Amino acid sequence: MKTISIIGMGYVGLPLALRFVEAGCKVFGIDVDESKIEQLLGGKSYIKHIEASRIAESVSKAQFIPTTDFKTVAESEGVIICVPTPLNKNREPDISYVLKTGEAMAPYLQNGTVVCLESTTYPGTTDDELRAVLERGSGKKAGVNFHLAFSPEREDPGNADSVVERIPKVIGGFTPTCLAKAIAIYSIAIQKLVPVSSCRVAEATKLMENIFRSVNIALVNELKIVYGRMGIDIWEVIEAAKTKPFGFMPFYPGPGLGGHCIPIDPFYLTWKAREFGLHTRFIELAGEINTSMPDYVISRVADALNDQGKAIRGSRILIVGLAYKANVDDMRESPSLILIEKLEARGAKVEYNDPYVPIVPHTREHDHLAGRKSQPITAEYDCIVIATAHQDYDGAKIATLGIPIVDSRRLVSPGPNIYQA
């Protein structure tokens, strides 16, 4: 039985840990957040799409050992790092969580251990920054005494077909031996690995995947506004275009970008490109268009209220959907939070509904919203804004309330009192 330590028990690390357990490994799940470790030890899940029973069963068999103690690294053949890589307040990469993890684990690093970073980051992080911290703290050399690799996570939260073991996984090593050793570890749990020539290529691959999404989402968001002004329905256009069997892939408009990846990761490359004297114009433009979407939605709220002879100031507005995408409980970077703040700044009384987020948790950037509670969808509001199309929502039923609806997700069929946004 192989022993693996997975550091960071979040959206990426926890499902990966359970996958390694189910593939027959003993897994230490390390996190600095004591409350998460306590919940895991108690067989509880804090991520909606991960069943508590999977955690409870793995913990009771002592095959999954949640802990805050990095000492477990000393008895692990593989160590996989899945900690956050956000942007700082100047929108520059913040790899401090990765470096702190490296510092914490380095003293326990053994000869022959495979260390693999999964956190999304700019090319060079694994070979340069993480390697330096690990070598300094352990007195060992990557590629000589221990093996170093990068393998980005690919997850589609809320998509039931997106199963960890079946998603092909790109992987690059610091040396060819590092790559081979890292593949040997991952092959226990993952069906298909896609080896590339270096950690840098693997890091760049992940960024390209997310930049591709950001740019294409910006494109449909722009077309939504242009076609909307021409009286053409973007959703109908997309449905027609996607019948093309080649050379087209549908992307859908919305109230802005959310989640831990698409609004953030592209700017990791923007920052790194500057070191080479280069600008990433597509990334910047996509960011500009996508971050302007909440303002567009608010302009449609103003239209909807204006048609009723009302102003935003003093109106009661319900945001339907707080999570950044359908059928998940993740509201990090959600445009709904921006909508609430901007509408309140203009004097509206705003509440939200989301069956996946009954209470707003603490967040770094919107902490003043923490503690607010989901409210029922009723006719008491002056306007309803559809921000997330959870499967639990019945658009036709919401339309029967007879109040103006600003719909950024095509949850409700077009009709009178329905404002596409």
Ligand X SMILES: NC(=O)c1ccc[n+]([C@@H]2O[C@H](COP(=O)([O-])OP(=O)(O)OC[C@H]3O[C@@H](n4cnc5c(N)ncnc54)[C@H](O)[C@@H]3O)[C@@H](O)[C@H]2O)c1
Which of 17, 30, 215, 338 forms a contact with ligand X (CB under 6 A)? 30
What is the residue type of 24?
G
Alpha carbons 351 and 376: distance in angstroms, whole number? 10
Measured distance CA(37)–CA(29) in Å, rounded: 8
Asked whether 319 and 340 are in contact (CB, 8 A), the reply is yes
Report, in Å, the least distance between residue 362 CB and ligand X: 13
Q: What's the closest the beta carbon of residue 206 comes to ligand X, in angstroms?
A: 7
Q: How far is the CB of 14 from ligand X (least distance, A)?
A: 8
Q: Which stretch binds ligand X (CB under 6 A): 93-101, 173-181, 216-224, 355-363?
A: 93-101
Could you say whether residue 72 binds ligand X (CB under 6 A)? no
116 an active-site residue? no
Single out the residue of 350, 229, 391, 259 nearest to residue 411, CA to CA.
Answer: 391
| Residue 114 near ligand X by CB under 6 A | no
Residue among 5, 101, 138, 290 that touches ligand X (CB under 6 A): 101
Q: Taking a C-beta distance cutoff of 8 angstroms, is the pair 405, 377 a contact?
A: no
Which one, 71 or 397, has the nearer CB to ligand X? 71
| Residue 20 C-alpha from the chain's centroid | 21
Question: Which runs of consecutive H residues, i.e. helices, occur in 292-334?
Answer: 293-306
3-state helix, strand, coil split of the chain in percent (to 5) is 40, 15, 45
Using CA atoms, how far apart are residues 170 and 148, in angstroms rounded to an integer?
14
User: Residue 261 or 323: which CB sits closer to ligand X?
Assistant: 261
224/260 with CB nearer ligand X: 260
Q: Which of 153, 329, 333, 407 binds ligand X (CB under 6 A)?
A: 153
Q: Which two tokens stand for residue 182?
A: 């890292």
Quick note: the x/- pattern for ligand X over 204-243, rule CB under 6 A, is ----------------------------------------
271 binds ligand X (CB under 6 A): no
Binding ligand X (rule: CB under 6 A), the pick from 4, 5, 6, 13 is 13
From residue 118, give the alpha-carbon distance in Å to each of 100, 153, 245, 382: 15, 6, 34, 45
Tell whether residue 134 is a contact of ligand X (CB under 6 A): no
Point out the catalytic residue in the list 25, 116, 261, 383.
261
When asked if residue 327 is in the footprint of ligand X (CB under 6 A), the reply is no
Looking at 78-86, 248-256, 283-291, 311-319, which segment touches ligand X (CB under 6 A)? 78-86
**Can residue 137 be called a binding residue for ligand X (CB under 6 A)?**
no
Contacts by 356-359, CB closer than 8 A, 24 or more apart: 356/48, 356/322, 356/323, 356/327, 356/328, 356/329, 356/390, 357/322, 357/323, 357/329, 357/331
Residue 316: Cβ within 10 Å count: 14
Segment contacting ligand X (CB under 6 A): 4-12, 123-131, 356-364, 379-387? 4-12
Active site residue ranges:
261
| Sites of contact with ligand X (CB under 6 A) | 7-13, 30-33, 36, 82-85, 97, 100-101, 118-120, 153, 155, 157, 260-261
